[in-house]
Amino acid sequence: MISKIVYAKKFFGDTMDILKNLPITDNHIHVDNENGYGAEKVAKIFHNAGGKVMIVLNKPTFDGDLTKSMDILVKDIERINKNTNVKAFGLVGVHPAELTVMLKRGISLEEAKEKMINALNYAKKLVEENDFIVGIGEVGRPHYEVSEDVWRVSNEILRYAMELAEDLNCAIQIHAESATEEQFKELSEMAKDVGLNPEKVIKHHCGDMVLEGEKYGIFPSIIASKPVESAVKKSLRFVMETDYIDDLKRPGVVLGIKTVPRRTRKLIEMGLLDEEGCFKIHKENIENLYGIEIE
């Protein structure tokens, strides 16, 4: 019996050559010019591994300034697009953990909520002003246990972010607790309640929950490790991510810069994905989510 690797190469040739002609996209990546490689070097490493498109999100700062990292992101996207062969797009938002950090510093819950809302309004302004800023994210609610009041306010902030996405007609990336079918149902209902199409709601870090995504309209962004192998056997209605942090003190967290191109190549070698499937995941799905065109 012919091996899956030989089978793949028989029809597609060398997989690295295939990647050169595919718009391999990492849907959730961070860059950090102070603590990591920085925007341009990350993009170049990604490109050398076969990557073409990066969706970059501003990092949380946890220093009380909720908009500074958004401004930095805008400049980083401009630099990547000007000085590298990678095409970059950005999402801007306020990480839900910023709320609990402010509370630990003695800020009241209502004041912290107001700061989060004001920052989201600023994010909306950046989406309106920059063609390459294509959505709101990452926003959501804590992935760790919090009080009922913090959970309630976090959901109120998330709902407001969805209202902004609806007004902008843009995508929104959600950071939240571990994905479940009940969570997908809840997020879908929340989106519909504010008039936002659930197809524009992206749940990042969601295992292999592609069928649940289809059921409730939520769009899965799947970490480029083992869950992708399971997901691709069920449906191609997902995008891939690393959630790369770009911190030299934590190398390769969450996954390394090269992982999405490498995992895509591995799926081809295993006979689980063909060229058409790659275009579906890395180009068509991305274009539909963000209203952009990828060459």
258 domain residue, yes or no:
yes
The predicted-structure confidence for 38-47, as pLDDT tens digits, reads as follows 999 999 999 9
Residue 92's nearest CA partner among 64, 117, 127 is: 127
47 domain residue, yes or no:
yes
Query: What pLDDT is recorded for position 21?
Result: 81
In this predicted structure, the answer to whether residue 16 has a pLDDT above a threshold of 90 is no
114 domain residue, yes or no:
yes
Q: What is the mean pLDDT of residues 171-189?
A: 97
Range of the domain at 28: 4-290
75 domain residue, yes or no:
yes
- Residue 239 CA to residue 223 CA, distance in Å, equals 9
Percent of the chain with pLDDT over 90: 91
Look at 17-21, 89-93, 169-173, 206-210 and tell me which has the smallest mean pLDDT.
17-21
User: How many CB atoms are closer than 10 A to CB 227?
Assistant: 19
Confidence grade of residue 6 (pLDDT, cut at 50, 70, 90): very low
The CATH number given to whatever domain includes residue 200 is 3.20.20.140
What does the DSSP assignment read for 229-285? HHHTTT-S--EEE--B---TTSTT-SS-TTHHHHHHHHHHHTTS--HHHHHIIIIIH
155 domain residue, yes or no:
yes
In this predicted structure, the answer to whether residue 246 has a pLDDT above a threshold of 70 is yes
Q: What is the mean pLDDT of residues 205-227?
A: 96
In this predicted structure, the answer to whether residue 14 has a pLDDT above a threshold of 80 is no
Question: ω into residue 199 within 30 of 0, thus cis?
Answer: no
Domains contained in the chain, number: 1
Query: What pLDDT is recorded for position 271?
Result: 95
9 domain residue, yes or no:
yes
The predicted-structure confidence for 118-145, as pLDDT tens digits, reads as follows 999 999 999 999 999 999 999 999 999 9
Confidence grade of residue 18 (pLDDT, cut at 50, 70, 90): low
Confidence grade of residue 36 (pLDDT, cut at 50, 70, 90): very high
What are the beta bridge partners of residue 92? 136
295 domain residue, yes or no:
no
178 domain residue, yes or no:
yes
Percent of the chain with pLDDT over 70: 94
Strands 133-140 and 201-204: unpaired
